[in-house]
Amino acid sequence: MAEEHTTDVTFESLGLHESLLTGLNDAGYTHCTPIQAATLPIALAGRDVAGQAQTGTGKSAAFLLAAMHHLMTTPAPDDRTGPWAVMIAPTRELALQIHKDAEKLGYFTGMECACIYGGTGYDAQRQQLEAGVDILIGTPGRVIDFFKQGVFDMRDVEICVLDEADRMFDMGFIDDIRYLLRRMPAPEKRLNMLFSATLSERVKELAYEHMNNPESVQIEPEQVTPDRVRQKLYHVENDHKIGLLIAVLREQQAIRTLIFVNTKRTADNVTAYLEGNGIQAAVISGDIPQNKREQLLSDFEQGKLPVMVATDVAARGLHIPDVSHVINYDLPQEAEDYVHRIGRTARAGAEGDAISFACESYVYSLPDIESYIGQKIPAEMADEGMIEPDLKPPKRRPAQRKSGGGNKSGGKGGRRGSGGTGGSNGGQGDSSQSGQAEVTSEQSE
């Protein structure tokens, strides 16, 4: 959390449990971001909260700290086993990021966290749930799957968190969310937190239907797009897009770049051209096995992989530090997705560059995007001098049959309130078998 991105409110001033303060200090966090400063006092006082804030502003830390504080300061009933907190996210990537943050912030609490989602290691996730967990983080379809099988129940849920609630509607998960909420204790018997990039009328309706008179908190940025993103757009012919992309990558010397495209086919084609022209790159999309996606994301985060070509499955829920550039090789067809995409850079007070290509196929999206963000994107025509003159053919990529992911079992950690240093690595699972199916297309996940 950069200084410019934080407030004068310190975590120490909020009365958080000592184990959480130790975790925060160990991670180097001392001051709250605006959304944390506004929502934590409400949630720590035991009142429901519906929070809206820009992506990358620390929403997950806000609800994790509030939930863990409640669990560490409220004795667990002797005849109950949990899970005590259920946190639902619309995508696997977001669920994994929340779990990663939970392990970091809750390292000294001794609580056991499980990450439940489709894609790989079904049995490992089941075994972890059967062993008992304090905090369950997951995507709707997989959570419903295990619930219907009786692997766990929700009678002990004291805390419910819905993250990216607006995305739940967009992805068709809202019936699943209502199914889960109706099987938890009544709203007044649990602490409820809802976070969203937008508090639309449908999100507010969900909040007031399944929460206990939540207090609304809205942290409005001065502009819709992150204010530390330098935006630029090139008008370019379809046939020159690859040449422009390679020239831009070489000119910018981008060390950690996310390239967004609209289809999996385009992602494969762009990646093949990049590799054919000496630029190391990989694709992340909905049909990549989960264990492989995790490895690719890890390599990208560690700087081993400089370029990631992504469909919109990666537009939400990823917090990868120090992404220097986002390139919209294809303009998104939904204006809101433009904001989510470029929000992958300039996170937590950092700066970044967002470069977009407006070609014949997708230029029609530009007016809606500029209307949505309330500004004109600085633009110029991509002339011949800006196109890579020595474009080499794409690297031939061997055809492969789809394969399932491997298992990765979670480690055994401490129980609620034990005060140990345990934690768990989230198990992984295959696709959902009941409830709303996990979405795995390149458009959404």
pLDDT digits (tens, 9 = 90+) for 258-309: 999 998 899 999 999 999 999 999 998 767 777 887 888 889 988 899 999 9
User: Of 218, 250, 280, which closes a domain?
Assistant: 218
424 lies in some domain:
no
Do 106 and 159 share a domain, yes or no? yes
Q: Determine the structural domain holding residue 239 and report its residue range.
A: 229-386
Nearest to 383 by CA among 249, 243, 253, 261: 243
Instruction: Say whether both 330 and 269 belong to one domain.
Output: yes
- Residue 193 forms part of a structural domain: yes
- Is 409 within the bounds of a domain? no
pLDDT at 64: 97
Least confident span in 96-110, 143-157, 244-258, 426-440? 426-440
CA distances from 140 to 117, 175, 199, 434 (A): 8, 10, 20, 10
- Residue 395, in any domain of the structure: no
Residues 146 and 213 in one domain: yes
Predicted confidence at residue 323, as pLDDT, reads 87
Whether the full predicted model's pTM is greater than 0.75, yes or no, is no
Does 380 share its domain with 318? yes
73 and 16 in a single domain? The answer is: yes
- Band of pLDDT at residue 92, cut at 50, 70 and 90: confident
Last residue of a domain, one of 167, 192, 218: 218
Rounded distance between C-alpha atoms, residue 327 and residue 281, angstroms: 14
Q: What is the pLDDT of residue 228?
A: 77
Structure tokens at 127: 């075994």
We report the CATH number of the domain holding residue 33 as: 3.40.50.300
Domain identity same for 259 and 195: no
Is 407 a member of any domain?
no
> Does 380 map to a domain?
yes
The phi and psi torsions of 25 (rounded to 5 degrees) equal -65, -40
- Domain total in the chain: 2
Residue 148 lies in a domain: yes
Same domain assignment for residues 23 and 165:
yes
**8 and 87 co-located in one domain:** yes
* Section 86-102 average pLDDT: 91
- Counting residues of the chain whose pLDDT is more than 70, the rounded percentage is 82
- CA atoms of 327 and 329, how far apart (whole Å): 6
Tell me: do 187 and 293 sit in the same domain. Answer: no
> What does the pLDDT read at residue 62?
95
For residue 400, give the 3-state DSSP assignment.
coil
pLDDT at 313: 64
Q: Are residues 209 and 234 in the same domain?
A: no
Q: Please tell me whether residues 238 and 107 are part of one structural domain.
A: no
My answer on whether 144 and 31 are in the same domain is: yes
Question: What sign does the CA torsion over 83, 405, 173, 89 have?
Answer: positive
| Segment 1-22 mean pLDDT | 83
